[in-house]
């Protein structure tokens, strides 16, 4: 039985889906005005991986991840470049898919973008207005928090405390500082749409409510995102959605922890971001996945080159084990027996428990160790099969690390031949000279009893 920590209750709960064997899931995606950074990659990788795990466990998953393509920052950035906000967001959606794909993140079932759902958003706001949860002021429409009695339930806050907090921006037009914008009246040089309240555009929170209800229905199973979205974003989404339908909107709320750099949250506004593009180039996708999954998804995690090198090194241990197994068993194959069942049960036990990936890796590495010390072909074959099977949710690319072909290869082979000739006549000075030369070309030499092999570093 899968258990998930639900932010709403603050506890681990058993997963009980609305429909049998089916999970409807919505993950908050990026605002597309520049390249995504490692912090944005965390929910993308973690929840993609969790989605695959749910599939592995027999669920059919409808996975939705949105793009926010209408927002102040997009408008500002596009005005600066002198292009339309559509052109700008199109560009960064394409860039997002490049990074996500390189990271091994599978495309979602649906990738809605706000501008394709403006009509639905308008209908949504009209509904709220009709039901007395919204009011209009000079072309802006606000949600009336005082009308929704469970406000604060998700973020475990008391509206009274927040009003007393007095850090909330004062906006004369609002009846209550906690009220939030559903629809914004158009300003000059901004994209806008016709609406019953005049020309304008959607507020931020409303898009997720409107798109999820259009694509997944009035209620669905899992809503996920970074824990910085709990308040106000998710609290507001929940309020407006439940105000509209009077039904429970989401069963399970999952929130990932933040990535920090030198103990400070990685974010665009702090300016300490590290692009996924750069990280992929320096460390590779496998190391990045290993890094992101090596700590429990709810905990904060520190980003540094030390952490990344560590992830890279530990990933290599898995690759080495696979190579070792292949060497030992060749194309031997057999049926699985109790051995597989036992290890599979351990893996499932770890991941069923709120997707405990560190525990899962612990199990995997125990098996890796066993693979090195075993000569039992039947067991080795089963280990290999399990590693491949589990890779369905770990999502590593074991092909990536195999050497890339190059025009230099015959040249390298020739040098190795020369070096081995030198070694045979015990001219080690010459042999070491060739080895150093190859090393400076990023070629690593491996001598063994079976001969010399090499690889790119």
Contacts (CB under 7 A) with RNA, residues 423-442: 423, 428, 431-432, 435
Which of the residues 351 through 380 are near RNA (CB under 7 A)?
Answer: 353, 356, 358-359, 361-362, 365-366, 368-369, 372-373
Which of the residues 307 through 336 are near RNA (CB under 7 A)?
Answer: 307, 309-310, 313-314, 316-317, 320-321, 324
Least spacing, CB of residue 19 vs RNA, in Å: 26
Q: Closer CB to RNA, residue 126 or residue 296?
A: 296
Should residue 256 be labelled a site residue for RNA when binding is judged by CB under 7 A? Answer: yes
Should residue 264 be labelled a site residue for RNA when binding is judged by CB under 7 A? Answer: yes
Should residue 444 be labelled a site residue for RNA when binding is judged by CB under 7 A? Answer: yes
Q: Closer CB to RNA, residue 407 or residue 426?
A: 426
Least spacing, CB of residue 316 vs RNA, in Å: 5
Should residue 402 be labelled a site residue for RNA when binding is judged by CB under 7 A? Answer: no
Q: Which residue among 149, 156, 187, 341 contacts RNA (CB under 7 A)?
A: 156
Should residue 153 be labelled a site residue for RNA when binding is judged by CB under 7 A? Answer: no
Least spacing, CB of residue 133 vs RNA, in Å: 19
* Residue 321 CA neighbour count, 13 Å, CB half: 25
Should residue 259 be labelled a site residue for RNA when binding is judged by CB under 7 A? Answer: yes
Should residue 86 be labelled a site residue for RNA when binding is judged by CB under 7 A? Answer: no
Should residue 403 be labelled a site residue for RNA when binding is judged by CB under 7 A? Answer: no
Least spacing, CB of residue 295 vs RNA, in Å: 4
Relative to beta strand 220-226, strand 250-256 is parallel
Q: Kindly determine how many residues on this chain lie close enough to bind RNA according to the rule CB under 7 A.
A: 86
**For RNA, which stretch binds (CB under 7 A), given 83-91, 114-122, 267-275, 396-404?**
267-275
Which of the residues 166 through 225 are near RNA (CB under 7 A)?
Answer: 167-169, 204, 225
Should residue 265 be labelled a site residue for RNA when binding is judged by CB under 7 A? Answer: yes
Which of the residues 23 through 52 are near RNA (CB under 7 A)?
Answer: 28-31, 39-40, 42-43
Which of the residues 217 through 246 are near RNA (CB under 7 A)?
Answer: 225-233
Contacts of 220 (CB under 8 A, 6+ apart): 18, 24, 25, 26, 212, 249, 250, 251
């Amino acid at each position: 039985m899968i258990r998930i920590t639900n932010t709403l209750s603050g506890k681990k709960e058993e997963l009980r889906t609305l429909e049998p064997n089916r999970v409807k899931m919505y993950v908050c995606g990026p605002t597309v005005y520049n390249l995504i950074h490692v912090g944005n990659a965390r929910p993308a990788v973690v929840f993609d991986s969790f989605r695959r795990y749910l599939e592995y466990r027999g669920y059919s998953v409808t996975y939705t991840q949105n793009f926010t393509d209408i927002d102040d920052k997009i408008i500002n950035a596009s005005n600066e470049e002198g292009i339309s906000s559509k052109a700008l967001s199109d560009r960064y959606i394409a860039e997002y898919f490049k990074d996500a794909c390189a990271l091994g993140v599978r495309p979602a079932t649906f990738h809605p973008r706000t501008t394709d759902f403006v009509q639905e958003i308008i209908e949504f706001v009209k509904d709220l207005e009709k039901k007395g949860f919204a009011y209009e002021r000079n072309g802006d429409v606000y949600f009336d928090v005082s009308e929704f009695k469970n406000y604060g339930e998700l973020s475990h806050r008391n509206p009274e405390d927040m009003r007393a907090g007095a850090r909330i921006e004062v906006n004369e037009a609002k009846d209550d500082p906690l009220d939030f914008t559903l629809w914004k009246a158009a300003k000059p040089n901004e994209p806008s749409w016709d609406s019953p309240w005049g020309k304008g555009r959607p507020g931020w929170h409303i898009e997720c409510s409107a798109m999820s209800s259009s694509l997944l229905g009035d209620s669905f199973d899992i809503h996920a995102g970074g824990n910085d979205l709990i308040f106000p974003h998710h609290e507001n989404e929940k309020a407006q959605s439940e105000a509209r339908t009077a039904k429970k909107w989401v069963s399970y709320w999952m929130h990932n922890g933040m990535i920090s750099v030198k103990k400070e949250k990685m974010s665009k506004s702090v300016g300490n971001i590290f692009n996924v593009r750069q990280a992929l180039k320096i460390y590779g996708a496998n190391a990045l996945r290993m890094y992101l999954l090596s700590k429990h998804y709810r905990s904060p995690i520190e980003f540094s080159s030390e952490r990344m090198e560590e992830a890279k090194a530990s990933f290599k241990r898995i690759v080495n084990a696979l190579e070792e197994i292949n060497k030992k068993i060749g194309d031997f194959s057999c049926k699985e027996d109790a051995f597989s069942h036992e290890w599979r049960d351990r893996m499932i036990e770890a991941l069923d428990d709120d997707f405990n990936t560190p525990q899962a890796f612990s199990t995997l590495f125990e098996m890796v160790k066993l693979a090195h010390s075993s000569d039992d072909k039947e067991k080795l074959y089963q280990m290999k099969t399990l590693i491949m099977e589990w890779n369905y949710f770990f999502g590593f690319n074991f092909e990536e690390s195999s050497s890339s072909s190059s025009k230099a290869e015959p040249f390298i082979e020739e040098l190795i031949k020369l070096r081995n000739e030198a070694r045979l006549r015990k001219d080690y000075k010459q042999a070491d000279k060739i080895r150093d030369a190859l090393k400076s070309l990023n070629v690593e030499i491996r001598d063994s009893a079976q001969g010399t092999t090499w690889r790119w570093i």
